[in-house]
Amino acid sequence: MNDITLPLLCTELPYLADSALYFEAIRTMPWPVFLDSSHSVSSNDSRYDIQTAAPFITLVTTGENTLIKHHNKDAVLSSDDPFVLLQNILGEFKPHQYADLPFCGGALGYFAYDLGRRIEDLPLQTLDAEHMPEMVIGIYDWAIVTDHQLQRCWLASYRLNAETQVQWDDLVSKLTSITPPKNPDTFHVSGELRCNLNQQDYQLAFNKIQDYIHEGDCYQVNLAKRFEINAEGDPWFAYQLLRKQNPAPFSSYFATPYATVLSSSPERLLKVSQQQVETKPIKGTRPRDLNNPARDKLLSDELQTSLKDRAENLMIVDLLRNDLGKVCIPGSIKVPKPFALESFATVHHLVSTITGTLADQHNAVSLLRACFPGGSITGAPKLRAMEIIEELEPHRRGLYCGSIAYIGFDGKMDSNITIRTLIYSDNRLRFWAGGGIVADSTADAEYQEVHDKAAAILRLLEQLK
């Protein structure tokens, strides 16, 4: 497959097995992003790394307003639906030819869980301790794309911003003369790790969810705990440790003026290519025991044969089939891989794959809106589960359980669910861990599962002290 179609503006770069070295060259530019596939993970989703910086348009949604800034133009403030605003901007740009690469320019950034308030009418009960915009998206005109399968790398652009051609040679020069930093800045945490739900509070929230389930209000609710610790330094240092300790196919690093995001997510939200849609919800978890292969195998077998975990997964599969049904061609939605085992650094997961064909009148942005936030991290039915989350979790989730996504000028999209994710701003590092509660859940087991999911991040914090 060496005769792949490339965009008109494209320069091949030396292949680096660790593409983080390329990110070193661009990470001091504005709004740098690294979509890190952790290709050492044995996953079909670990083929491409994508890096970019310096968007020529930015969209920042805070509350009811979105601030849109075009390079060298006055900013515009709009109260319109942020998904519609994003699609309108993407619709202004049409590539002259389509490339086989996943991303050569387009929208890239984050959609916070709380952006769901622009879609659903939710009560306002939780404390907003994040103080972050609900949507932060850059419109980028170039990307460094590393293909670990072909072992090739390109600097690629659809050349839809006039300045890209002017800056191209300088960018190529920057990327072909990289040297690892000799004295990288460090990052450390200090003080006490604070959590917003102790075991007693978690038990009370768990009991309330059980009451709602038995009353017929819902079938499943995802309950999460928020952790926070003081921190300072260069978060890139922390991310490099995280990606080595907890490699995951939908990892990412995104530095914005508002916060820096360090994600080692194992979960895809939505992927679109040529109108074909895929979503891969995770439901069902067991810890790993890499020091004892026999016990590790026992834990994975236990997960695969657990009727409770399969039932929990099936509830979310049904929810996502309904979400996809809003925008996909009737009859096109399939579940080709239900309840597949996927194993990561600290946990085993049950992952189902759901596919569909996007209807002609819909696009990647309308698909994202129809499915946002992801059902695997809310519960079923989605709206009632989100109302219960708002009632029982003390703090807003912010970016946790939202999504980091790219949506290309060519209509392609891929996105994660921002679990196993740290947020750094105001000298504070925050992360969350949660799990789905169903009728036959037990509080002690669910509480332990939360800590199993947080294990990699907790280990990282120990190293950063």
Q: Which residues are catalytic?
A: 267, 283
Closest CA to 62 of 122, 131, 165: 131
How far is residue 318's CA from residue 265's CA, in Å, rounded to a whole number? 22
Contact 145, 101 (CB under 8 A): yes
Token readout for 423 is 């947020």
Task: Please spell the DSSP secondary structure of 363-413, one letter per residue.
Answer: -HHHHHHHHPSPGGGTEESHHHHHHHHHHH-SB--TTTTSEEEEEETTS-E
Amino acid found at 207: N
How far is residue 322's CA from residue 380's CA, in Å, rounded to a whole number? 11
Closest CA to 85 of 103, 107, 101: 107
How far is residue 246's CA from residue 79's CA, in Å, rounded to a whole number? 39
Number of continuous H segments (helices) and E segments (strands) in the chain = 11, 24
Q: What angle do CA 205, 404, 39 make, to 5 degrees?
A: 110
Contact 225, 419 (CB under 8 A): no
Contact 55, 26 (CB under 8 A): no
Contact 414, 406 (CB under 8 A): yes
How far is residue 433's CA from residue 370's CA, in Å, rounded to a whole number? 25
Q: What is the largest CA-CA distance in the chain?
A: 65
Strand partners, 250: 265
Contact 155, 33 (CB under 8 A): no
How far is residue 237's CA from residue 242's CA, in Å, rounded to a whole number? 9
Token readout for 76 is 């515009």
How far is residue 384's CA from residue 212's CA, in Å, rounded to a whole number? 10
The residue length of the chain stands at: 465
CA distances from 60 to 69, 88, 109, 320 (A): 9, 15, 10, 28
How far is residue 463's CA from residue 205's CA, in Å, rounded to a whole number? 32
Phi, psi of 182 (to 5 degrees): -80, -40
Task: Sort strands 421-425 and 428-437 into parallel, antiparallel or unpaired.
Answer: antiparallel
